Amino acid sequence: MFAVVREPIDPRTFDDPIRPGDGGAVRFFGVVRSRADDGRAVHGLSYEAFEPLAIAEFERIAGEARERFGDVALAIVHRIGEIGVGEVSVAVVASAAHRDAAFDACRYAIDELKRRAPIWKKERYADGSARWRENESVS
């Protein structure tokens, strides 16, 4: 499952394994933080995306993860639009026969998504100001 959505991402959507029978499943949810890296209070985020290219990039990332880590399955869903503090902005789920491959694939997918996908983020601050942020892959 690869998608760009406008509606809230419900983490419970990912409760069932994406590939039944696998021994390891890793779920990552990116959640809007209440503080920016510089300490300012955040009111929320606004995301924009070039949707067809973003989904194509998700698919490429999943293919690369399979090449690197073996037989893994991935789901990537990214929300766009206005998102409030505490809401999920991105979900990455990896499934594999063993946990190491699932962890590695999940980490690779979120890092590459942040680095490469045509998705742009604007932080909206509590003081009413806003700033477009670089799409960085930060641990």
* CA-closest candidate to residue 84, choices 11, 33, 127, 130: 33
- Does residue 139 surpass a pLDDT of 90? no
Q: Spell out the domains of the chain, with CATH numbers in brackets.
A: 2-123 (3.90.1170.40)
CB 90 within 8 A of CB 77: yes
Say if pTM beats, i.e. exceeds, 0.85.
yes
- What is the average per-residue pLDDT within 34-49? 96
Local confidence band at 16 (pLDDT 50, 70, 90 cut-offs): confident
Q: How far apart are CA 94 and CA 75, in angstroms?
A: 7
